[in-house]
Structure 1
């Protein structure tokens, strides 16, 4: 698969994940930590996905 297309798919999946986390996490945890956890999970998702894409390309 083309690396650029894969990057776009990962970006869209990350945005969907962030949106879901921002909607769901504050229901179970107080708002402040929930938003921080959502952002940390989003960053980790993008970092791990980018690392794996680079690993597969090379």
Structure 2
């Protein structure tokens, strides 16, 4: 069975997550913010680990 991307709401506290994400960008230049996002994507992709799920995420984000 191929893994499936979970697109259902799955955050315990979505507002808290958003606040933490915004805080993580505080004080960063636009370039630094983009680099942070790129590193974050790579960390989360590594956590997911399954290319089929990542491809589903690419399609969902497009």
Fold match by TM threshold 0.5: no
| Highest RCO, 1 vs 2 (Cα 8 Å, sep ≥ 6) | 2
